[in-house]
A and B are shown apart, each in its own frame.
Chain A
């Protein structure tokens, strides 16, 4: 997707790079159009709008900016892009509740169709936290422990597929764990907790493993710096995910009136 428009890249590379720009622009315009279409309804929280555009900004930086250019030569830059595209952008995009906004903006018939689609067996499957975590962490293991990382840099199509997977799997994972969008089959707190712990463990294991075994073609110092960035950068986003998970629990277990009355007399 994010290819330097220089020599050595074929027409497909150009098409895919332009495709990424078109998709990002469509996402930016789509959210604005939906906001406008639903402006007669209850006010939409500004933080969600900010979150959507910040998420698109992170994805753009990873796919099109100087980070993307440097990622061809530097594993550390690749890892910075990966953190932006696979962790920061999905978190910000999921917190923007795009499905909720879409349901508000669409006419009733279309909104019903969207709901039917979201309830379909396939989407229910991939939005289960376990499936989403396997897609997310499994994709990373494939990318970094097989020759895929090296082949990706030789093929524009493979490069585009890997980056699409990283963003989509990251989004599904975040939305399944802590997303504000409606989720009629949301997994229980213990299941989501176990999945999140498992994911953080897998992510930090992979980072430490990469520290000692950089992908083919990556120098030792570059590999170590990239692995450290993956470990500590991943931690920062993971702690935010844990806090959001418990915030949901905290709101859902709000004491009822009886308990509050007890508190008033007790103190």
Chain B
């Protein structure tokens, strides 16, 4: 689901035709998914884990250079897709009515997908940073990965249940 949605957001057809409703639907899903990934990467991480709980450190000084580079790209893409998702939403709104339930489902799926990628790639493969320091990580990893998978699943269910409404415009 996720890769297809991302690809559709890039497409930029300008002609209005029979495919308009389907295109608006794809854009709605792409917008929500990008925005969900974006807020997970830029805002949830910054405001909850860095500034709120202060579990995350700005830079834990043990990071390898490859991981630091990957972190920079994640950071840049996080802000970029947040804004991209919002502009796609504005674009759908000026063309047709937005199916808000479908958009919300895509946002939930996006948050879950990003948190899952964050858990697997950033925490475990690249080891850029951990969820919390000086504690036994296992319960945190299980809670993080499990909640991410649940969010992704919940978003997928919401998208599935709204598919008719979305396709009809």
Once bound together, how far apart are the Cα atoms of A12 and B76, in whole Å? 41
B71: CB under 8 A from chain A? Answer: yes
Q: In the complex, which residues 232-263 of chain A have their Cβ closer than 8 Å to any Cβ of chain B?
A: 235, 238-239, 242-243, 246-247, 249-250, 253-256, 258-259, 262-263
Say yes or no: B90 contacts A250, CB within 8 Å. Answer: yes
Say yes or no: A193 contacts B80, CB within 8 Å. Answer: yes
Are A201 and B73 CB-contacts (below 8 A) given A228-B58, A250-B90, A262-B16?
yes
Residues of B contacting A249 with CB < 8 Å?
A: 87
B69: CB under 8 A from chain A? Answer: yes
Once bound together, how far apart are the Cα atoms of A2 and B97, in whole Å? 56
Once bound together, how far apart are the Cα atoms of A196 and B80, in whole Å? 9
Say yes or no: B91 contacts A253, CB within 8 Å. Answer: yes
Q: Which of A208, A242, A253 is B68 in contact with, Cβ under 8 Å?
A: A208
Q: In the complex, which residues 89-148 of chain B have their Cβ closer than 8 Å to any Cβ of chain A?
A: 90-91, 94-97
Say yes or no: A250 contacts B87, CB within 8 Å. Answer: yes
Q: Which of B10, B16, B61, B83 is A259 in contact with, Cβ under 8 Å?
A: B16
Residues of B contacting A171 with CB < 8 Å?
A: none
Residues of A contacting B91 with CB < 8 Å?
A: 250, 253
Residues of A contacting B61 with CB < 8 Å?
A: 212
B49: CB under 8 A from chain A? Answer: no
Interface size counted on chain A using CB atoms at 8 A: 37
Q: Which chain B residue shows the least CB distance to A199?
A: B76
Q: Which of A202, A204, A228, A242 is B83 in contact with, Cβ under 8 Å?
A: A242
Residues of B contacting A228 with CB < 8 Å?
A: 58
Residues of B contacting A247 with CB < 8 Å?
A: 87
Say yes or no: A258 contacts B16, CB within 8 Å. Answer: yes
A161: CB under 8 A from chain B? Answer: no
Residues of A contacting B84 with CB < 8 Å?
A: 242, 246
A205: CB under 8 A from chain B? Answer: yes
Say yes or no: B96 contacts A267, CB within 8 Å. Answer: yes
Say yes or no: A253 contacts B12, CB within 8 Å. Answer: yes
Residues of B contacting A242 with CB < 8 Å?
A: 79-80, 83-84
Are A253 and B14 CB-contacts (below 8 A) given A196-B80, A263-B95?
yes
Once bound together, how far apart are the Cα atoms of A159 and B14, in whole Å? 50
Say yes or no: B73 contacts A256, CB within 8 Å. Answer: no
Are A201 and B58 CB-contacts (below 8 A) given A250-B91, A258-B16?
no
Say yes or no: B69 contacts A201, CB within 8 Å. Answer: yes
Q: Which of B58, B80, B83, B169 is A211 in contact with, Cβ under 8 Å?
A: B58
Residues of B contacting A201 with CB < 8 Å?
A: 69, 72-73, 75-76
Say yes or no: B59 contacts A208, CB within 8 Å. Answer: yes
Instruction: Write the residues of chain B forming the contact surface with A, with a CB cutoff of 8 angstroms.
Output: 10, 12, 14, 16, 20, 58-59, 61, 63, 68-69, 71-73, 75-77, 79-80, 83-84, 87, 90-91, 94-97, 169
With A239-B83, A242-B83, A259-B20 already in contact, 8 other A-B pairs whose C-beta atoms are closer than 8 Å: A201-B72, A205-B68, A208-B68, A235-B79, A263-B95, A266-B96, A266-B97, A267-B97
